[in-house]
Amino acid sequence: MFGRRRKNESLGLPPQSDARCRPKTWGWLATFGLALIAAVASQLPALAAVSWSNDYGFRFATLQHMTGDGVAAITLVYVSTPVQVGLLFWFARLRRSSAVEYLALTLPRKRDMPVLLLSAAVLAAASDGLSWLLGKNLVTSFQHDIYRSAASAGAQVWLWLAVVIVAPIGEEILFRGFLFRGWQRSSGDAWIAIGATAVLWAIVHVQYDPLVIGEILVAGLVLGWVRWRTRSTISTILLHSVLNAGGMAETYFRLRG
């Protein structure tokens, strides 16, 4: 065994034991299909919970009334996220690998912290700077509406937790965890995975106008690069949380003013 390991190393090949232990991944289409199943399956009970709690009934034609409803947004996040994350963990385990390893849920290294801090500062400054140059409000109408309605219901703390902690966990495990793992199959695929996950992540934010969706696309590219650079989805969860906390703080001070 030792001799075979040394021979592989001399040829520039990975040790045979390492190759056998390397985690398997789902294919390109299977990764997308399973991610879609997890996303849709998690939304169904969430939408049902919101419809029931707000007397909307189960007529999906009335779901537009939920837009801007802070309590509805809180319910959607808290119900859908555990279901989605649970399904993704199960799909990862089906590849006979550790789900934590498959989804890259490892702590960032100390040397990665400057990357996270710099990325957060650049993204926040670029987003606010562009909005200011174009004469746009820093706080979108969607942010304003959900915060005001949640405040009216006495649910500000739950909204903060949903936006700053729960939502980043669910979104990052889906996009920079499961999808990224399935689509970044070699070092040459890195930018394909970064770009594809960023585009999909931007598309799902249909509650915003095109300018904000464009900003989300850029943020997604940075998050994907951070995921590749640090090899950690927890890094992107932290960065995502910081960005969302900044947006919530801006909304808070805007409403107080």
- Rounded to the nearest integer, the mean pLDDT of the chain is 87
Per-residue pLDDT tens over the stretch 224-251: 999 999 999 999 999 999 999 999 999 9
Q: Give domain status of residue 198, yes or no.
A: yes
Who has greater pLDDT, 164 or 132? 164
What's the domain range around 95? Answer: 25-256
Q: Give domain status of residue 193, yes or no.
A: yes
Q: Give domain status of residue 1, yes or no.
A: no
Q: Give domain status of residue 158, yes or no.
A: yes
Q: Give domain status of residue 18, yes or no.
A: no
Instruction: In whole angstroms, give the CA distance from residue 103 to residue 39.
Output: 16
pLDDT band at 21 (very low <50, low <70, confident <90, very high): very low
Instruction: In whole angstroms, give the CA distance from residue 172 to residue 180.
Output: 10
Instruction: In whole angstroms, give the CA distance from residue 11 to residue 3.
Output: 13
The tally of domains found in the chain comes to 1
Instruction: In whole angstroms, give the CA distance from residue 91 to residue 195.
Output: 23
Q: Give domain status of residue 106, yes or no.
A: yes
Per-residue pLDDT tens over the stretch 162-219: 999 999 999 999 999 999 999 998 878 899 999 999 999 999 998 888 999 999 999 9
Instruction: In whole angstroms, give the CA distance from residue 133 to residue 7.
Output: 60
Is the pLDDT score of 22 beyond 60? no
Q: Give domain status of residue 69, yes or no.
A: yes
The percentage of the chain sitting over the pLDDT mark of 70, rounded to a whole number, equals 86
What is the structure's pLDDT at 230? 96
Q: Give domain status of residue 169, yes or no.
A: yes
